[in-house]
Amino acid sequence: KSIFSMGGTSRVWAQPPYGTLKSVFGTHNFHSAYEICKGPRHFGGVLTDEKGSPWMEVEQGPIVYVQWGTASEYSNYDSTNRTVVDCSQRAYKHILVDPRMSPLGKEADIWLPIRVGTDLALSLGWLKWIVDNDAYDKNFVKRWSNGPFLYNPEADGKTYKGYFLEMNGGIHMTSRLLTEADLDREWVSQFWEPAPEQYSYRRFICWDAANEKPTYWDAEECQWEGEKHKIPTTGTWIEHPYKPIIADAWLPDPSKFADPADP
């Protein structure tokens, strides 16, 4: 506990302070640039797959672009400034949440200078309005979020969900979400071939209403039960205005559930 490690974003020499030293000595003390690096994208990806894939499409941009703090105009990780400007200009509304009047705040359509510590209240209020008014993509929520996952509401409903390891260390995870590890293997075998016990916590259980049976999302394979990866063949071609600095992009159409599975 007396050992401290730190590192920047170098792709070579900085990796040992992140992973090796912290893991070897078992220390919790470290400092890194994760919050202005791929950290937000990484943990956003963890919501839909165990690998936390941080590669996200940024060319189309949202209709309503919300920037929540971060001061990306200062950190400017990779092409952040270019992306922020493009998204804010293309969006119907650009909303900035930040107690300070930052450079992006004066450019935003709506600046929300909330009191420090009230972020959760604002986000929960927005989420309630979105749910109450069906202002979300239901197919996306069913396919790419934990919305359909079954959970145990009991006070002691949390169970072990494995050890999540990433470059800054790791954590023993617990959750109320039901996985194959929480179910009787003999009962599961009447619906599908159970995974090896050490990996069964990676299969999150859902209810397949179309077929009136349980099914699962495999966080390791990033696929639903019975799905096989298919190379997309349809999509949209986007010509980037800043060629040759930034290349054009081909964006595949959203994938669909494997017929007939649809929880």
**Interval 21-75: pLDDT, tens:** 766 777 777 777 776 677 777 777 776 665 666 666 667 778 899 988 877 777 6
Query: Between 192 and 82, where is the model more confident?
Result: 192
Does the residue 57 lie in any domain? no
Residue type, 38: K
- Give the pLDDT score at 115: 93
Range of the domain at 107: 64-136
Question: Between 192 and 240, whose confidence is greater?
Answer: 192
Where b means 16+ CB within 10 Å and e means fewer, 215-234 reads: bbbbbebbbbbeeeeeeeee
pLDDT of 12 over the 60 cut:
no
Burial 123-135 (b: 16+ CB within 10 A, else e): eeeeeeeeeeeee
Do 123 and 201 reside in the same domain of the chain? Answer: no
Region 203-220: mean pLDDT is 91
| Cα 143 from chain centroid (whole Å) | 13
Amino acid at site 123: S
With tokens 């090796």, the residue in question is 20
Are the beta carbons of 177 and 145 closer than 8 angstroms?
Answer: no
pLDDT digits (tens, 9 = 90+) for 89-110: 889 999 999 998 888 888 899 9
Residue 132 or 9, more confident: 132
At residue 11 the predicted structure's pLDDT band, cuts being 50, 70 and 90, is: low
* Cα–Cα–Cα angle for 126, 131, 137, rounded to 5 degrees: 105
Residue 138 token pair: 């239901």
pTM to 2 decimal places = 0.71
- Which distant-in-sequence residues (6+ apart) come within 8 Å of 142 by Cβ? 148, 257, 262, 263
Which has more confidence, 155 or 39?
155
Q: Is 130 in the same domain as 143?
A: no
Residue scoring higher pLDDT (35 or 219): 219
Same domain, 78 and 187: no
- Number of independent structural domains in the chain: 3
Whole-number pLDDT of residue 250: 84
What's the rounded Cα separation, in Å, for the pair 46 and 36? 17
Query: 52 lies in a domain?
Result: no
Q: What are phi and psi of 192, to 5 degrees?
A: -160, 170
